[in-house]
Structure 1
Amino acid sequence: MPDGASPPLSEKRLIEAVAARYAGASRFTRGYVGSKLRRDPSTAALLALAQREGGLGQVADLGCGRGQLALALLLSGAASGVVGLDYEEAKVAEARAAGAGLAARFIRADLTAARVPDCDTALMVDVLYQLPEAAQAPLLDRVAAAARRRVVLRLFDPGRGWRSTLGMAMERAGRAIRRDGAAVRPMPVAEVSARLAGAGFTSEVTPCWAGTPLPNVLLVAERAA
């Protein structure tokens, strides 16, 4: 480490630093942000990926929610800047407030039609399967066109046996409680990989469900040199 350089934050200190930026948010949001970053295995997976790759550069976080993952990437040095898009205005407002003073922009957008910002890394965590089936492939095409270096997706894998069966049951129950009439039709992971391959990316898929019974996988697609 060069003389005078600050050591990287530990994951615990990083989560504390991100959570502190939501001090003015609702009690629910304050609890949610820290819990989500601690418990969701995508946090550690993305920080590890950034360390291996020497950073993710400019990141487009699609379906960013309250922005806590985008801010964790920024505060850890894993991203040089982020643009977050989400449909829910209340969450976008909380993300904007938390990201004040950082190289972060948060925009309300409908991902079924929105332009994907040009970026080094396009990121979608638990987003694709939430969209109507007809919107999934067109969004992937827009993501592939916008990402200069890589696409990183946390996907619901419908081909993981009992995990997928349980995950589908949980998702349907949740939608029934929320009275969300949308059908749950996640795109097969092989189909996602093939679509990205057609755009010049090579994909690697690894489990991303540590500590949970869900069928979540991390797909990292790198653009060919």
Structure 2
Amino acid sequence: MRLLGIIDALRTHCAWTRRLTHASLVEYLVEESYELVEAIEDARPPEEIRGELADVLLQVVLHASIAAEHGSFDFADVAEELSDKMVRRNRHIFAADGSLLGDYPDSIEEIVASWDAAKRAEREAPGTAEGSAFNPLQSLPRHLPALSLADKALGRAARWEAARTGAGGAGAPARRRAGGRVEPDEPQLADEDQLGDHLLELVALARERGWDAERALRGAVTRFTDDVTRALG
């Protein structure tokens, strides 16, 4: 691949690129990821999205190049790891040997349940580092913005509850565990715009009272995940 040769040359001959490390690249990875998100959400032209994807890919290639220099792994290993994972996790599409099954589900719920079951099987397999009981919140990326973190925590807990009980629509049990209750004066929100306005009002209230809204929500998610972990024993 031409790109790998270019990055190898830069790591060899460019003093700035040569000094990059996994740690020093983190800020660029975050920045480039958000620039891609912005381009998608703003519906920018395809060539701009392509450019932002290229910038994200650069981060992957740089990390792989640094690892290769230390004898850990290289870009081909990363690609192979992803290939194996996609086959393993998408067992509603692939057989264990990577061949296509030939008959595929149409239900999104069935597909998500299959993915979650495959992920759970990996974590519960004997000899794995993560060991016995499956915790659906264990692998949550803690550096996500608080709203995204909260949404993912509730979503994973809801799907786990549905798989455990065989019941659909498990959002309500997850919400109760998080301490939420449906009160008579609960705001009636018709769409995402109204939800956004309501969230902005909550942030304004937090500012008036000297509270940190990000920290408050992150703390609530931590308490919620702790509750789920205790429930799992």
RCO greater where, 1 or 2, for CA within 8 Å and sep 6 or more?
Answer: 1
The TM-score with structure 2 as length reference comes to 0.26
The TM-score with structure 1 as length reference comes to 0.27
Normalized per residue, the structure richer in strand is: 1
Normalized per residue, the structure richer in helix is: 2
The structure with more radius of gyration: 2
